[in-house]
Amino acid sequence: MSTPTPAAGQPAPAFAPPPGVAPQQPGFAPQQPGFAPQPQQPGFVPQQQGYAPQQPGVAPQHPGFAQQQPGFAPPGQPFTAPNPFPTAKATFGAALHSEWTKIRSVRSTFWTLLITMAITIGLGSLFAFGAVQHVDPGDRTDSDWPAHAMSGLFLGQLVIVVFGAMSITAEYSTGMIRTSLTSQPRRATLFWAKTLIVTLVSLVIGLVCSFTSFFIASAIYSGHDVHVSLSDGDTLRAVYGGGLYLAVSALLAFGLGAILRHTAGAITSAVGLLFVLWILINFLPGTWRTDIEKWVPFNAGMQIITTRPMDDMLSPWTGFAVFAGYAATALVLGAIVMRNKDA
């Protein structure tokens, strides 16, 4: 039976299946007579209208949401950026390794430490030679020969404070501190890792300088019938005390660098505490000078290299403890500044 043709301007009537034929679902074409439905391939499920086929291994999506790309979230859900790089656990050991790598890969570190050794050993040998030349033979038993050998520390500390200050201020001036804080978000961990590396490096350099200066000075003394040995009284304490003094000087400058975050300011402050203050004390009236000069960082710290007690001065270990207290105060304040201020 043929379907009547609609009149002009009238909509076409809906298709009605012939008698005995089941109606088709919307969106599916009717099967031709004599054709069986096509079998589905294994692993595929017939898709419903409005859903795209899923890839194997991908969870089905909710209706109305397309497959999300990495780094994108559906509306109403928080955005999480993917991290294309594997991240290492931020431990104190990892921070130590990072700081050691940085400090030994910087060329200025090598030259600064080399100059420290050259000045300390060279001037120590020069002062030892001058001392043994000008001391009267009758006064040689009362002379502080180890202290003469350690005299190079007077100017060597000027260079070691540059190393201590630049160990932290260089990162602030170049902006690398932000990279360091990204790899190690715990600021206290980063700060004390830097502190430990500076301590170890400066202590090793200080001990090398002091023992080398002593052995060279001993050879100079022997040529003038003055014999000095590490086993003599407090000589050993004076020699390794020179290394301790250089290490604490570097830590003092490091702490000031953490507080000021400026290389020139940190070096100037360290030099002011170690030298300028020591010079200004000499212009005070007699009683004031006597009461104050023993507490000045330079005078207090240098007592560790003496083997002869000095009037109106602190004992060797007491003086060194006072000197270390200055450095500890600077370090604590530097840690507080680093923790509370933006990089």
Return per-residue pLDDT of the chain as tens, 343 residues: 455 555 555 555 555 555 555 555 554 445 555 445 555 555 544 554 444 455 555 455 554 444 555 555 555 555 555 555 445 567 889 889 999 999 988 888 999 999 999 999 999 999 999 988 887 766 677 788 999 999 999 999 999 999 999 999 999 988 888 988 888 889 999 999 999 999 999 999 999 999 999 999 999 999 888 889 998 889 999 999 999 999 999 999 999 999 999 999 999 999 999 999 999 998 888 788 888 999 999 999 999 999 987 888 999 999 999 999 999 999 999 999 999 887 6
Tokens for 203? 């202590």
211 HSE (CA, 13 A, CB side): 10
pTM over 0.95: no
